[in-house]
Amino acid sequence: MAETLTIRRPDDWHLHLRDGAVLKAVLPETARHFARAIIMPNLVPPVVTGAQAAAYRQRILGALPMGLDFEPLMTLYLTEDTDPKDVKAAAEVGIVTAVKLYPAGATTNSASGVRDFDKVRSVLETMAQIGLPLCVHGEVTDPEVDIFDREAAFIDRILDPIRRATPGLRVVMEHITTHDGIDYVKSQGDDMGGTITAHHLVINRNHILVGGIKPHYYCLPVAKREEHRQALVAAATSGDAHFFLGTDSAPHVDALKEHPCGCAGCFTATNTLSVLAEVFERQDALDRLEAFTSLHGPAFYGLPPNADTITLARGTPVAYPAKIDTDDGPVTIFDPGFPLHWRVTP
Ligand code: NCD
Ligand code: ZN
């Protein structure tokens, strides 16, 4: 068994960095390992315009510790009032790399998201023309639909109609949690991608609910049955270029996770690469880890892979801290529930 693994430096194609004290604390956890990340715009208020994205980018770069090299790839939060001209201008100057679609009410800070999809048609058409990808949170918000069925329902009701109505639009189905999502993405051409998180490769819904409720395993889309987790592992480790890493690392302070109405989100930035190496090793697919973390994502976004590399080494289990501290309070690091033998070497 190989004791070290050297791969192109990874990127994270779906990341929540927040702002202020939490941004300052979580940014180094990502920048230590990842060269670039797609930064989610669901701040309060959301990052809607090109000017807001440029200002947020400056705050991120301002919070980056000396000596760490990291490029935030900014996104705009799509609303029913988004101006196609602003999107086009922001894309042309390179301030934004994608636009994010949240169905209104689907997840944390999504109240300004889209209710009537006809209202965003002209933005989507502009994006198709200029090749700007749309990242979608793929869950319907219809209260009649069971939370475990919301991703599958989104494909039929919203995603596939958008795909058919907007030929050429590059779309990423983010944080896929079902075999329905995997099958749909696989059935599409190379203008469709799908991101998969580390935590959804590890937990199923039993981890959240059996033996007491585990708020730190609660995220959206919520983890599904074991058969779905297995479909995600098969896709991530398959070498299929549709699929790439988007951690959806989503920090919330413990006081808001361990709460009668706990926030959704798993904070995985710190140990994602150790978790992934363990998952890929178990599938005898370590030779495909680099494609998932470092090659398929840049190819989808039309960017070069990173020139530098990182090396993972296998050894005695890594002792990650349980939490990181922020000036707003502690944030718990995702606990995969098994020992992590792979570490990123300094
Ligand atoms: C994310 C957050 O906290 O911003 N939460 C989550 O459970 N993933 C929002 C999101 O991506 O759905
Ligand atoms: Zn997210």
Q: How far is the centre of ligand 1, averaged over its atoms, from the C-alpha of 248 (Å)?
A: 7
Report the 10 Å Cβ neighbour count for 334.
Answer: 25
CATH number assigned to the domain comprising residue 303: 3.20.20.140
| pLDDT, position 1 | 52
Number of domains observed in the structure of the chain: 1
Residue 46 near ligand 1, beta carbon < 6 Å: no
251 Cα nearest atom in ligand 1? 3
| Distance (Å, whole) CA 42 – CA 38 | 12
Peptide bond into 45 cis (omega under 30): yes
Q: Is the model's pLDDT at 88 over the cut of 60?
A: yes
Mean pLDDT calculated for residue range 185-195: 98
Catalytically annotated residue among 248, 287, 308, 335? 248
According to the model, what pLDDT value does residue 106 have?
A: 78
Q: Closest-lying ligand to the alpha carbon of 43? A: 1
Q: Which ligand 1 atom is the nearest neighbour of the CA of 263?
A: 3
pTM exceeds 0.75 for this model: yes
> Tokens for 295?
């090659």
**Contact criterion met (CB below 8 Å) for 331 and 253:** yes
CB of 199 shorter than 6 A to ligand 1: no
Q: Whose CA is nearest to atom 11 of ligand 1?
A: 248
56: domain range? 4-344
**Is 289's pLDDT higher than 60?**
yes
The reported pLDDT for the residue numbered 178 is 98
Q: Closest ligand 1 atom, CA of 106?
A: 12
Q: To the nearest whole number, what is the mean pLDDT of the chain?
A: 97
Determine the pLDDT at residue 105.
Answer: 84
Half-sphere exposure of 135 toward its Cβ, with a 13 Å CA cutoff? Answer: 28
Give the model's confidence band at 188: pLDDT under 50 very low, under 70 low, under 90 confident, else very high: very high
Q: Which ligand lies nearest to the CA atom of residue 14 in the structure?
A: 2
Q: Is 248 one of the annotated active-site residues of the chain?
A: yes
User: Contact 341/330 with Cβ under 8 angstroms?
Assistant: no
Give the residue whose CA is nearest to atom 9 of ligand 1. Answer: 108
